[in-house]
Structure 1
């Protein structure tokens, strides 16, 4: 039997739902440089579970932009849309532990419920916590509505999950003197799958990192709080714990983080106005 590859493994995992910008470039360049310095491997993963927003032309642009920056990565590239069975298997394990339930509340119903509760708590990203509970609907009714084909989200019963894992959940953060305490309960009953998609970002990212043997997760500081949910899922699914590093974000002139959703200048735009790859690398890392 061949011995496992002992080299550290880093990855850059963009979603092909828009064009990459300097924030993505920073993550990709940091991962590639850290892999090189450690004598490790640099992987590219395409996180394309959102079939409504992800497009082939954006995936092609990812390869073009990274190559322009001077990066290379191992082949084949893992595309999440080709591994739904792995996510279904992980979801089934959570269901077998009675940690998952379907919720049928629409976005409008959730907004109304939150509006009726002034001062309702928000998750670390600033979104209101799910304002309903598993106990609010009989399990038999949930099964009937599922069987009837109604749309639903599959949520993690956070209270049960946290109780099952117990106290002391934490993660290792590069540069931190000790373990960082995890607080997954701050996210409430997060969505981990939907009727039409057997996974979510939270579930697929921990499955993928485990399958690919990722040892170092280097990503933006905006994802640091989500690590609490990822560590919870890793413990529940008996998955290995990577070392995390959450780097500072690239900000625009107004001090806001770059984002596809607000039309931040893309790497393609930079090329079009004559910015060189070397200049773009400096802008991303400077």
Structure 2
């Protein structure tokens, strides 16, 4: 057997083993999971349920920001333009402008920063208003992502969530019977995509196809400023490995998509979508398994010749 065929067989075996270990890790964490990882330079991939539609939650903000920066690169939007943000009428949320009490004035690019860094719902909806759902969907279609569809803004998503929860409010979201009727968990109703299409979007961003030039570089840097270390980044606790990404969270759903960059030049797009069996709002194991499974996938893509550079 030639060395090339031997290497190919080793790589295929490694990816199969990784898929088995990834499925086991999801089960141990008490979640069902979907994953797609791709080497941005070779196209090699690891997949588990990668073509299954999923409710994207705040991961869809990546589609919004890609469109915003793409429109700016085309000269149709000025990212330095300032918006007045009144104190009243903001989209609800737990971070950023959504919880601030006073009027503010910010540029579109600073609103984009808040949308990424702390997943600010109010900032995101100001950008949705600027760009429009149709423009975001048209951009995804232009990039070949025909299963990635925005149906509503964050405000409308939360309105549907509140309607389905009923008069008991957020407390009802701990009840399995209530969770079963939440439309925002159903990809047929809400913003949706697949794990494979999300890594394709990341690949287009990192290759300069989705957003060219300085605007693309700015967006990539922005995605590296997300503050949450407990999901994707937890699988790569090294000072010389860069993780850029965007999370998404709804009742029972914990997601993250992002790019992992190694100092040797290896670059890997990863999308992990999970749904927990338990209804608790705090499930550390469900958060951590995103990093665990991403690492398993990336290690498999780096096998056999580069994975030894960082301990598993």
Q: Same fold (TM over 0.5)?
A: no
TM-score when normalising by structure 1: 0.32
TM-score when normalising by structure 2: 0.30
The answer to which structure has the higher helix fraction is 2
